[in-house]
Amino acid sequence: MGTEVDTSTQNAPEENLYRHSIVTIPNVICAFRLLGALALFAIALTNNSVLFASVFIVLNLSDFIDGRLARWLHQRSDFGARLDSVADAVLYGALFFGLIWLKWDILKPEMPWWLTAFFSYVLTTSAGLWKYGKAPSYHTYGAKASQWFVLVGIVCLFLDYTLLPFRVAMIAVTLTNLEATAITWRLKEWRADVLTILHVLPKRRSSEQNLME
């Protein structure tokens, strides 16, 4: 009687080997962003706008880096997706705290723009918690684009240049969150890394199944 060999892991895509991993290079960078985001709250209290904006930019760019590394190194994981979402939530929470603390005179007239974006985030997070028991971690194309809009908007705001990019960023964030809410409504089970609402529509799924057959 020969020894049976489990070939499921060998035949699985390389990235599946890291699906349940915790300690990976992208996750370490993500943890750094989370700690840096927590530090941003304290930095805001120093009233140093330049330092606050500089640290935010570095942390925001780290989100771009860890996502690319996760794909290049085939180290995408469910834990990493959730950690990334938590780090992003804390980072943008720190951002709004810093804006209110440091730039309230500018932010107050813009309240309709950023409150709309904030409540859209509350909506999509609440939908995920209600349906799955945990927040969504879709990392859509819209979310990736919104990240750059926010970065440009915040730089322009801190430089007292123009508020137009900030308003555009708030619109982009709102639309992204509404798309994420629609994805949650369509999906029966929690899933990470859903690029667009098109990826969960029936026609999209049926065409992918036909290609696999």
The domains of the chain are located at 8-212
Helices 78-107 and 141-158: angle between axes, nearest 10 degrees: 30
Residues 6+ apart with CB under 8 A from 54: none
More confident: 5 or 120: 120
The residue among 101, 128, 121, 145 whose CA lies nearest residue 184 is: 128
Instruction: State pLDDT tens for residues 147-171.
Output: 899 999 999 998 888 999 999 999 9
pLDDT band at 12 (very low <50, low <70, confident <90, very high): very low
Q: Which residues of 177-190 are buried (b: 16+ CB within 10 A; e: fewer)?
A: bebbbebbeebeeb
pLDDT band at 80 (very low <50, low <70, confident <90, very high): confident
Distance CA 193, CA 137 (A): 6
- Distances in Å between the Cα of 90 and the Cα atoms of 94, 195, 204, 208 are 6, 22, 33, 36
166 in helix, strand or coil? helix
Instruction: State pLDDT tens for residues 113-151.
Output: 999 999 999 999 999 999 999 888 898 999 989 989 999
The residue among 129, 127, 103 whose CA lies nearest residue 114 is: 103
Is CATH 1.20.120 correct for 8-212? Answer: yes
Distance CA 140, CA 116 (A): 20
Indicate if the alpha-carbon torsion angle 125, 27, 92, 117 is positive or negative.
negative
